[in-house]
């Protein structure tokens, strides 16, 4: 069973995970859960999705994951794995047919170092959004973001590749993409104007089948995010 509508407190627990697939516990607008979903789609893994109402979490979900966060992967053996990067790496190892991480230890380390660097960029997006809502000046924050985007752009220039791991989409691209999909939501897409190679990367990512399969429009992201910030998230928005 796959569920688009979210399971809230009082919802019946889903049955066991079918033997031939895995189950993703998710939330339709969560960028972190999107990472795991991208990996599942890119690797062609058979899976079902259970969306969770993150303000009214079912008890059975909290039993699986007391922190109550998504994404969460559950296997037919009852193995439960959480956190976006960990679930994504777990799936890449569990289903080795189409590897997204490099084969060499150094190649893997390079992608993980880049992801660590990128993890310092994402808080900037939320800071800018919060400051704008308060009517604060964001020019300093945007200048910092542009500098970080410049560093990413230089990485592509030096590597002379279409994507961050080479000339095909790999693990690092999928880990970064959900936040670039939301640049319009954060109203910072102009911060890409001085980074031509990074801009080309976003255009190439938009053509990726996994990205196309699950992406939301900027308008939908904005509506959900604004409702979320107002304390009234509609986890089933658009259904």
Active site members:
30
Residues 6+ apart with CB under 8 A from 19: 76
Residue 214: CB atoms within 10 A of its CB come to 17
- Measured CA to CA in angstroms, residue 61 lies from 26, 36, 68, 76, 235 at distances of 11, 18, 7, 16, 16
Q: In angstroms, rounded to a whole number, what is the distance separating the alpha carbons of residues 59 and 66?
A: 9
Q: What is the Cα–Cα distance from 207 to 7, expressed in whole angstroms?
A: 31
In DSSP terms, which residues pair with 74 in a beta bridge? 23, 80
Rounded-to-integer distance, Cα 81 and Cα 74, Å: 7
Q: Which DSSP string do the residues of 50-82 spell out, in sequence order?
A: EEE-TTS--HHHHHH-TT--S-EEE-TT--EEE
């Amino acid at each position: 069973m796959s569920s688009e509508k979210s399971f809230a407190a009082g919802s019946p627990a889903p049955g066991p995970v079918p033997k031939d697939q895995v189950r993703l516990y998710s939330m339709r607008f969560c960028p972190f859960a999107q990472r795991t979903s991208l990996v599942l789609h890119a690797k062609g893994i058979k899976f079902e999705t259970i969306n969770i109402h993150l303000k009214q979490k079912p008890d059975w979900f909290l039993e699986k994951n007391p922190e109550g966060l998504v994404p969460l992967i559950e296997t037919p053996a009852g193995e439960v794995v959480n956190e976006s990067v960990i679930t994504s790496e777990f799936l890449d190892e569990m289903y080795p047919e189409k590897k997204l991480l490099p084969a060499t230890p150094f190649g893997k380390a390079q992608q993980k170092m880049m992801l660590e660097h990128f993890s310092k960029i994402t808080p900037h997006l939320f800071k800018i959004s919060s400051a704008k809502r308060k009517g604060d000046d964001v020019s300093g924050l945007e200048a910092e973001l542009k500098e970080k985007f410049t560093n990413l752009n230089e990485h592509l220039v030096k590597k002379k590749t279409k994507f961050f791991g080479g000339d095909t989409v790999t693990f690092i691209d999928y880990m970064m993409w959900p936040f670039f999909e939301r640049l319009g939501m954060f109203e910072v897409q102009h911060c890409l104007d001085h980074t031509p190679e990074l801009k080309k990367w976003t255009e190439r990512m938009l053509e990726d089948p996994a990205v196309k399969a699950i992406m939301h429009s900027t308008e939908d992201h904005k509506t959900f995010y604004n409702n979320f910030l107002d304390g009234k998230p509609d986890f089933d928005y658009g259904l």
